[in-house]
Structure 1
């Protein structure tokens, strides 16, 4: 059982004194910084890594919208880094000294890590490991990459996860183009504009009708970035029908279902399996982006991290949740 600590801080409240006793017991500490963190498995995942490596470290949930508080807390000499989640993934960028290529190109940071200079100064650096999680979900789980390489891909949704998916499909998974399917046209327009501005949006195709979907070449990789709710509006039903058309094409590939809360076993995943597609659970993306984070924070390679134990722990946690 994880011993992770949660600290909830109200807007503009001073430095949380409740942190000091816990930090004093640790060799190093990090944070999960964002809102609505109760269901996050991030601290649990990292707890498995630190225990596996024999490190007296902990990732502490910091449920807050107070950026100034966070910027003060990370000055602590024992701070090793942070997971950054909504609503801070974009807001944190101006406060960082350096950004990785992925962080800069996606325009969002989910990982803060430190770089130490010879003169003792620490630089606060931003990375985006969400894109690595998406990439590795396919690389680690699909035995024959030819089912998605050098073929169109498809992203369902229009938010931050969709942007990360487009980047990963374009940069690493050899998508010839990326179909974007979403109920809100304005969201797709914003995604396309941002991706074009960052030089990887020229091959995006907004699929808006069933007739258009029927005429297109089948995708090989699909990343679904929408909640697991039954379609009720006209726009949602149209999106579902477009997805069905794509799944029913002769070529079958792999679908990564990013939704895993409250369960990774979604209606869309079941539909995809029934049409002959390989379904990759969203917990795979969670696991591999977390492993990438710990590579930054511990300096260890993935081969040195307890990957099997991480997977076992996350699977057990999901089974526990599903019983409730």
Structure 2
């Protein structure tokens, strides 16, 4: 395969000096034989300067992180269905237009990070089974197979949609804040037709919805809460409720889905070795650390940038980058995360917000 044209790619957000994304993407670019680069651009706002960089001819695409995932949306030409559903964009793909121009398309690869990491775990559990990238847990003769998200906010919306793409319904939510749960439900009305979003407030709710004949069975869970020891009763109740879910007996169906083998129950906490990770593992769940989701969303970005297409199908097609490249990039990124360098520590200390003292960009009047 011929090397793609060399371009500049950026990560916009603040603070981001700790990010391992440059290591992942620059490893990929080098392996592809291109001189493309991926660098951080620390900014807490969407500024005119930031937009000028994105629109420049030498910019091949960009990643966007907090606090700009929603703020960038009005400045894009088009949004993917995934970005519209979650009201978040973490990836900008520059797509050529028929008139020789370029349009900026926003995508949310956080969704694919979660989904593809869970699919990867499924392949580990069933190494001799072909599992398609669009695998779905459709077990019509075995009742309802559900997903669980622990947390709230934009990350929860991405995780909930990822579980929906895997055919799981309904999606249960564990969160201490009723208003935050309501906000997630209001933001994702499309899930109502798939069984909805159900708030599990305490172990009694777990008994009501998950215990007994004919009740939904949770196949996969995603943790979206920081790894801080709980201090309040409400925070402790999150872990108590999650533990109640993890202890519900799980019987593997004897007949597989036509699109996917049945997983052992799987859990994907957001960060490596979080408290929730340890709780799930202690209860016998097959646990994946959140580093894998971060790596998978990065691969999705690489595939979209290489093809100039912002679709779920392209973002999930590992043949675009190749197995060997992804294996080496995964290994390199994990090594960096487990052994941060002195240079990274110093960069975190010296990081400066480029938007400090500057106004946010203003949309032109139509």
> Please, what TM-score do these two structures have when normalized by structure 1?
0.85
The answer to whether 1:296 aligns with 2:315 is: no
Following superposition, the deviation at residue 202 of structure 1 comes to: 5.3
Structure 1 unaligned residues grouped into runs of 5+? 1-25
Distance in 2, Cα, partners of 1:65 & 1:200? 37
**Residue of structure 2 in register with 1:22 after alignment:** none
The answer to whether 1:319 aligns with 2:343 is: no
1:163 is aligned, of 146, 150, 157, to: 157
Distance in 2, Cα, partners of 1:90 & 1:200? 26
**Residue of structure 1 in register with 2:282 after alignment:** 274
Distance in 2, Cα, partners of 1:152 & 1:117? 40
2:223–2:268 contact (8 Å) kept in structure 1: yes
Following superposition, the deviation at residue 215 of structure 1 comes to: 2.8
Following superposition, the deviation at residue 216 of structure 1 comes to: 2.4
**Residue of structure 1 in register with 2:15 after alignment:** 36
Q: Counterparts in 2 of 1:86-97, with a 5 A limit?
A: 86-97=66-77
**Residue of structure 2 in register with 1:15 after alignment:** none
Structure 2 unaligned residues grouped into runs of 5+? 139-143, 211-216, 251-263, 308-313, 346-366
1:255 is aligned, of 258, 264, 267, to: 267
2:117–2:293 contact (8 Å) kept in structure 1: yes
> Please, what TM-score do these two structures have when normalized by structure 2?
0.75
**Residue of structure 2 in register with 1:110 after alignment:** 90
1:166–1:178 contact (8 Å) kept in structure 2: yes
Distance in 1, Cα, partners of 2:192 & 2:304? 26
**Residue of structure 1 in register with 2:61 after alignment:** 81
Following superposition, the deviation at residue 129 of structure 1 comes to: 0.7
Q: Counterparts in 2 of 1:103-252, with a 5 A limit?
A: 103-142=83-122, 143=125, 150-170=144-164, 172-196=165-189, 203-217=196-210, 218-251=217-250
Q: Secondary structure at the match of 1:228?
A: coil
Q: 123-132 or 135-144, which moves further after superposition?
A: 135-144
Distance in 2, Cα, partners of 1:313 & 1:148? 32
Q: Tell me: CA distance 1:50–1:117, structure 2 relative to 1, closer, same or farther (3 Å).
A: same
| Count of residue correspondences | 294
Bigger relative contact order (CA 8 A; separation at least 6) = 2
Q: 221-230 or 146-155, which moves further after superposition?
A: 146-155
Q: Tell me: CA distance 1:200–1:293, structure 2 relative to 1, closer, same or farther (3 Å).
A: farther
Q: Tell me: CA distance 1:273–1:290, structure 2 relative to 1, closer, same or farther (3 Å).
A: same
Following superposition, the deviation at residue 198 of structure 1 comes to: 7.5
**Residue of structure 2 in register with 1:71 after alignment:** 51
